Structure 1
Amino acid sequence: MSSKKAVDLLKEIVKRFHTSTGFEQVLKHVEITGGDVGHCLAEFVVRKENLNAAGGLHGGFTATVVDNFTTYALVTKNCNPGVTVDLHVSYLKGAREGDTVVIDAKAVKTGKTLAYLECELRNKENGQIIAKGSQTKYVA
């Protein structure tokens, strides 16, 4: 798959959020900004609906971003999206309403049965890492 085809695929996937009535609709304000084969770049502005009770970016929303966007990086490698075997998120810094968050997701290694994926969420203004995540998927 070429870089252009990979980005086109990523944009098509995210376009589905805008019409989804399922859980994926929580990602409807996340926009693809770039990518390549095995790589997905996106960003979103933290909105009120993304906040926890304390006014920070909700951990469950962050985990959903890691889960979904690493999977998108994976499918650009002509790999099926597979099933999550392990998902890990480390929360390093908070984000508040109005902050712009950059998502950088990569398919690190894909094998016959497993794929290893990584993701970072960063504050666009200062570059600080908000969260780091990894995921292992069964892809056979």
Structure 2
Amino acid sequence: MAENSNTFTIAGDIPPASATTTTTTQAAETQTEETTTSSDSNSPATAPAEEEEEKEETLPFTTPSPSLSTSVLLPLTPSTSSAPALAHVQHVWDTIRPNSAIYNLLLSDIILVAAVSQPTGRILAHLTLQPVHLNSKRILHGAVSGALCDWAGGMAIAADIAGDSGAVDKDGKKILSTGVSTDMHLSYCSTAREGDTLEVEAWVSRRGKKLGFTGFEIRKRVEGGGWERGERGEVVVVGSHTKYLPFGQKRE
């Protein structure tokens, strides 16, 4: 073994570390020159990739919708509402309300405006904001939005059940239970203040034997009756809600 502070020849033809470093450095420099030459040229093979990369960097930020259900459906208004569906949803709400202190506190003034069962369960309601709905900054409290999502998802399930002839209990009566929550997601897009009237819309994306999946949206109501023509106001909250349906249903 030769003594050198930087070089140790261990065996055979293995080059010294300094020689390896020099070779690697030269190769890197050569590769850099080739890369520079290639990038400077107008080669068709590299131009599309550069254009695609620039395009990706300029894409605007977008927030995905929790569901595309309402994008292909007619606006839900009193004129497009189903009387049997609305009556069933109202009956379910009247059954639930006396047993829920939270609903009585926050949603005692909510008004069911419309409901349909086909092609999917869907509801629309209005709520005018009062001081009880606001946080310390005097804007809509996030917990109220959560309560609305929970409530509206259940009402959408009720609307879906209204149009299902097989959704009956052991006595042959329509199922009134809408299950319990297993998952809920909300995104806060803007805010609302005291006196604002909110449109609360929810729809069923899928209802199985055990789970029901719903989408949800809170909007500011369009003034001047525009909402009756299907005009939509500023979106305040969007969300999704999953429910375990068998809970609370009568069993054989």
Rounded Cα–Cα distance in structure 2 between residues aligned with 1:115 and 1:81: 9
Structure 1 residues without counterparts, runs of 5 or longer: none
Where does structure 1 differ by over 3 angstroms across 4 or more consecutive aligned residues? 13-21
- Tell me the equivalent position of 1:81: 178
Computed over aligned residues only, the root mean square deviation of the Cα atoms, in angstroms, reads 2.1
Larger radius of gyration: 2
- Tell me the equivalent position of 1:115: 212
* Greater fraction of residues in helix: 2
* Greater relative CO (CA pairs within 8 A, separation 6+): 1
Structure 2 residues without counterparts, runs of 5 or longer: 1-80, 162-166, 168-176, 223-231, 247-252
User: Please, which of 102, 112, 125 is the counterpart of residue 42 of structure 1?
Assistant: 125
Distance 1:21 1:133, change over 3 A: closer
Equivalent runs, 1:37-76 vs 2, <5 Å = 37=117, 38-76=121-159
User: Please, which of 24, 27, 34 is the counterpart of residue 107 of structure 2?
Assistant: 27
- Tell me the equivalent position of 1:9: 88
In the TM superposition, residue 18 of structure 1 has moved relative to its aligned partner by 7.2
In the TM superposition, residue 15 of structure 1 has moved relative to its aligned partner by 4.2
Residue 154 of structure 2 aligns with an amino acid whose one-letter code is: T
Instruction: Write out per-residue CA displacement over residues 17-44 of structure 1, whole angstroms, 9 at most, x where no aligned residue.
Output: 7766722202111101111111110011
Rounded Cα–Cα distance in structure 2 between residues aligned with 1:30 and 1:14: 10
Whether the aligned pair in 2 keeps the contact of 1:17 and 1:27 (CA below 8 Å) is no
- TM-score normalised by length of structure 1: 0.89
Q: Identical aligned pairs, as a percentage?
A: 27
Distance 1:49 1:17, change over 3 A: farther
